[in-house]
Chains A and B, each alone.
Chain A
Amino acid sequence: MYTFSSRLKMASFIMMIVGLLGIGIGFMSAPTTIEESKAMVASHDEGHGDGQSADTAHAVANSHGQEHAEGHDASHDEHVLHQLQNKPWAALYVAAFFFFMIALGALAFYAVQRASQAGWAPLLFRVMEGITAYLVPGGIIVFIILVLSVLHMNHLFVWMDPEVVAHDKLLQGKAGYLNPTFFLIRAAVFLGGWILYREYSRKLSLKQDASDDNASFKLNFRISAGFLVFYLISESIMSWDWIMSVDPHWFSTLFGWYVFASMFVSGITVIAMVTIYLKSKDYLPDVNDSHIHDLAKFMFGISIFWTYLWFSQFMLIWYSNIPEEVTYFVTRIEDYKLPFFGMVVMNFVLPLLLLMNSDYKRINWFVIFTGIIILAGHYMDIFNMIMPSTVGDQWSIGIPEIGAVLFFAGLFIFWVFRALTKAPLQPKRNPFIEESKHFHY
């Protein structure tokens, strides 16, 4: 049995408290009036003498006539106000979704291992089950944020605003799908399905340990295969709902896979990191270098798969350059140049070079180091999906963003390691457990 080390528990509480303070500061410092937002943008520009927004503001003022500029300024100011008001919300949403997505990616990996009857994985099932325990609090928090959006507490999803829809033919056309009630029903069904599978599979997994036949194992195999079908459909629709719809004028067909690749590689990375941590504390004596090697191979392979999808989406849109699609990347390349291309380096170039060597995949600290890069890269990936259409060029990585990441990281660590204490870390009667113990690559 694993006992939650008090130092780690302490660290997770400190992260949560500091994170909450950061989130609170973010909400307190968000402007409530146009005057405040103007003052904020002005002080920001003073700090950086040749700030980009100052230049563009001048360019706008010069190119328009005097009376024209006044009308434009008013609507521009309101736009900036909404962007600044969105900042703490978007920071919260990105971090909440990111950590939820890790648990969901780990769940998909777990179901794949069960459905494929992998011989090496059973030793790590309890670690995966511990990570997927975060689905419940993480899913509920994401759902609450979505409900608050529907209740107009924020402007994350522009199509939820009836004012906006009334003046927008495109959104009216999509209202059959993008309407708040249906949106929340879909979210509830997906979350319910994922959590149901997780809880039931965990129950069967524990039951298998105590039983004297393999009925629970076989049932777990069947429900895992069934879950994967549900997961692929629901994950795709979830990505349209929760992420693509912050940009309701834009659409991409491979977006669901792209989000999937991101969550899958993050999930596998966290499985590897938690496994290495537990092994370093002597809680997983039978886990050997070959298990770590296999996980690192998955991190390597899925990182490249993510890049393949990222590039396929980018290149097809860049090549054909159809105005209604290409604005998505135009805004990202103009306002988010460093995060947008930086994440390709973090999610592709570094894992490719660091994890290519077979020997390096067996060095624990090396896998942890690469894992941190991959996780930071996929946080930037979600950041790049949400921020450009919610806060636009007002983005920054400051107190609200870091605070939200700290809070959810603390909650994640607390919940996952608390779940790990609930059952022995090694399954007793899994039919493949002997193979897994002697797994050697």
Chain B
Amino acid sequence: MASKVIHAYYNDDDVLMHAVKKVKGAKHHIEEVYCPFPVHGLDKAMGLAPTRIAITSFIYGCVGLIVSIVMMNYIMIQDWPQDIGGKPSFSYIENMPAFVPIMFELTVFFAAHLMVITFYLRSRLWPFKKAENPDVRTTDDHFVMELAIHDNEKELKNLLMDTGAVEINVSEK
């Protein structure tokens, strides 16, 4: 792809927030913003859709609960209902209090781990992944806003200079 992108550097998160609002106000699409730390409210300013990861986590938790119930019902009640220390193994409900700690832990286990894996999948993170930051300074003390250029390089540059950018680079992507 022979498209060009413009990288605007900022060294303050407040300036960055104002810049994002201004660029959004000028109806330009922001491709990406690279930050060394989470900037509170940046997602709102960029107009990103809210995350749905909490909903997936709830569903995973329900799956974990069902797995634990089915598992213990099969093992303890259906397959081999032994008398272990006088615990009533005639039906699941009768012996349920003893299963609750496992039901709880498996619910949390599924909800937590599957949610983390979902996060890794959706944000494309894995051990040997090649780092994607356009400039190493974005992991330390600089913020970079990336915009695509559609024959409007000069106009974009002027706009970004106005927002308080400390450096502007144009590069092929």
Contacts and interface: CB of A to CB of B under 8 A. Distances in A.
Contacts of A318: 97
* A interface, over-half SS: helix
B98 interface: yes
Contacts of A315: 97-98, 100
Contacts of B86: 321
A69 interface: no
Interface string A306-321: 0000010011001101
A94 B97 CA distance: 28
Contacts of A356: 58
A195 B2 CA distance: 76
A358 B98 CA distance: 32
Interface in B83-132: 86, 97-98, 100
Per DSSP, chain B at the interface is helix
Interface string A342-371: 000000000000001010000000000000
Contacts of B100: 311, 315
Nearest to B98: A319
Interface residues of A, number: 8
Interface in B49-65: 54, 58
B122 to A, nearest CB: 19
Nearest to A358: B54
A168 to B, nearest CB: 30
A311 B98 CA distance: 11
Interface in A191-248: none
Select the residue from B54, B86, B97, B98 with max chain A CB neighbours within 10 A.
Answer: B97
A400 B41 CA distance: 55
Contacts of B98: 315, 319
Interface in B119-173: none
A319 B95 CA distance: 9
Nearest to A320: B85
Nearest to A308: B104
A296 B100 CA distance: 26
Contact of A314 (B54, B58, B97): B97
Nearest to B40: A440
A348 to B, nearest CB: 12
Contacts of A319: 97-98
Nearest to A357: B54
A89 B34 CA distance: 68
A318 B54 CA distance: 35
Contacts of B97: 311, 314-315, 318-319
Interface string B64-93: 000000000000000000000010000000
Which of A318, A356, A358 has the largest count of B CB atoms less than 10 A from its CB? A318
B54 to A, nearest CB: 8
B85 to A, nearest CB: 9
Interface in A281-312: 311
A378 B54 CA distance: 29
A382 B97 CA distance: 22
Interface string B20-39: 00000000000000000000
A318 B101 CA distance: 14
A314 B97 CA distance: 9
A318 B97 CA distance: 8
Nearest to B54: A358
Contacts of B58: 356
Contacts of A321: 86
Contacts of A311: 97, 100
Nearest to A353: B58
A405 B98 CA distance: 36
A311 B100 CA distance: 9
A314 B54 CA distance: 31
Given A311-B97, A319-B98, 10 more contacts: A311-B100, A314-B97, A315-B97, A315-B98, A315-B100, A318-B97, A319-B97, A321-B86, A356-B58, A358-B54
Interface of B: 54, 58, 86, 97-98, 100
12 contacts: A311-B97, A311-B100, A314-B97, A315-B97, A315-B98, A315-B100, A318-B97, A319-B97, A319-B98, A321-B86, A356-B58, A358-B54
